Chains A and B, each alone.
Chain A
Amino acid sequence: MKLLKYFGCSAILMSAAMLQAQDAAEVEQLKKKLQQLQEQFEKAQNEHQKQMKALMQQIDGLQQKQSSLTADQQQLKDQMSQPMADAAKASSLEKGRWRPSDPISLLQRDSSYLNLSLSGLFAAGGSTANDLSSLQLGGHDPSQRGFTVQNVEAVFEGAVDPYFRGQANTIFFIDRDGETVVELEEAYLESLSLPWNLQLKAGQYYTEFGRHNPTHPHAWAFVDIPLVNGRFLGPDGLRNPGARLSWLMPTPFYSELFLGVQNSHGETAFSFRSGEGHGHEGESEGLPFAFRENENDRGVRNLDDLLLAPRYAVSFDLTDTQTLLLGASGAFGPNSSGESGNNDTQIYGADLTWKWRSSRHQGGFPFVTWQTEGMLRNYRAGSFDWDEEGDLGDADGNGFPDEGVLVDASTGLPAAFSRETLTDYGFYSQVLYGFRKGWVAGLRFDFVTGSRGDYEKLPLILADNAGGGASAGRDLLRRERWRFSPNLTWYPSEFSKVRLQYNYDDRRDIGVDHSVWLQLEFLLGSHAAHKF
């Protein structure tokens, strides 16, 4: 019995143990399964998360894609949502496109049909020269002690249609008499889509002669214009109504050929048929240029009587940071010197611009530019007799030549000049160093002179109506002169500048003068892009 009991017990125990073992195995299995499930679940969850993420990104992309509809669709969308947008929102820029019903707000390009800007250029200073109006050759140079409103310029600019771009620069300034003067500086069309790499410009524009001439006062690097420009191209620069064709040549480097045809008369056709205007109040306070009145206004009869202005410019990138631009220009046309005849003027110019700009510049700084321009003018002066009325220059009949009549001392009669060619030449060279953001130091050297004309070899006397008078001396409008101008400019931002300049002026037969000018500029509206 006992044995049976033991047996039973052991059997039970054994079976229990077996059961236990079986149980353990099952638990193990279950555990494994659970783990597997867990892993699977985790995997699924991961995958799910990934999918979610991808979906989110897709949505993101789609949303952005939706906003990347073409401009037209965008506009349509804008228009559709327009009624819903409240008035406040409509005034914000978010809507982008300007519509004719909107008030004209003077915004940047792309948001209006017309880009407007206004710049004001003012100067203050003084000089040791008493004839400041002769010392400073430019019409917009500071030319009086105290304050000068040099140039207040309104620029209107924009695309006219797919074929043309239009621009007009009107200038206001206050002259020495306090009178406000308005000038139409430039107003022209420029073609956008001529074939064969051609471009046409037509209207009133600055002749593309050299580097300085086509530059507007607010873009000058100095407070005044170079002497060669003042003497040969005039106080306001060479600009006139006309048309110009340019051709971008199919060379691997930049090279462009310009040919302009402009009127040769008017105040701004200095050195040409500017007529009475030629003896601008600039350098001559007494005698006119070449001691002859400009009375030969023969009008336009054929193409030769227009002003022809060719230019060729070529540019190379010397290194990644250095660029060279070379140019050769010409201006050929009739002049109104003397009383009659076909007299003409030829001006030749050569220019060089070298620029270095750091490959890590900020706001364009630091940089160094070196710009030099040389010009040569052959001016065929017409014959002129100071005894214009045939009364020996004695209109009041007192027996002596009247005051202001030029008399040849060797004969005692009013001077008579025959035709001759007068050659003048000169150059300027300037270096600008933008040494830190907003700061530019500049240095300019000017030189200009003329070969002695036959008329300057005569013993001329400026009569005083009493049988005497002062010696006329050399023609001061062609006399040797040089100038040295250091300056410093600070640009608080792109839209304003403060400039201090000193001029050391040496005029042969007149003497040395010192001038100091402080210049201020502001700019409102859209800022025109910088050209090279």
Chain B
Amino acid sequence: MIRCKDINKIYSHGSQRKQVLQNVNFDVLPGERVALLGRNGAGKSTLIKLIGGVELPTSGKIVRDMTHSWPLGFSGGFQGSLTGYDNARFIARIYDHDYKSVRAFVEEFTELGRQLKMPVKTYSSGMRARLAFALSLAIEFDCYLIDEIILVGDQNFQKKCHEELFEKRKNRAMILASHSTDAIRLFCNKAVVLNKGIATTYANVDEALDIYSAL
């Protein structure tokens, strides 16, 4: 389980202060697929970063009893000047995985071929998504933190993600921040709506989507 207890996050810059999250409480149980809904700037990415431990909450606590991926998003997690293979090797090392099996999976899943020998900074966002996803699937986590990225790929990538994440790894938990109502209706069984820093949890995804559309 991952539990957020009274999370507050305040960003300050000089005399400016912005409270992004206010007393956020919610749980993610094993196997739950939680949608994070909210308008741009509502704090979805911030919440995912806090859960992933990339940034620390100003106050409150996050208890993690299951392993979770790093936040899979458009930025972060990679070193742009290193090649795809180097990044894969680095990730295999820090997560204590056998590089050969990680490499084999990445080659097969990403279908990037010779591009893997190029620096990651030359990749398009779709290619990055493929690489990030392939690596997090090769490592295997109990909970995947996904910040929009799943929906940037082409048909073929989406089909593969579907197969790997929603069929082969059906029992895993997931937190998905997205604006795509179709995807959320299809994949999620719980939703958290963020509005003005306050998070409300809904067991019924359709109800949450209605509220989100009215924001």
Q: Does B bind A?
A: no
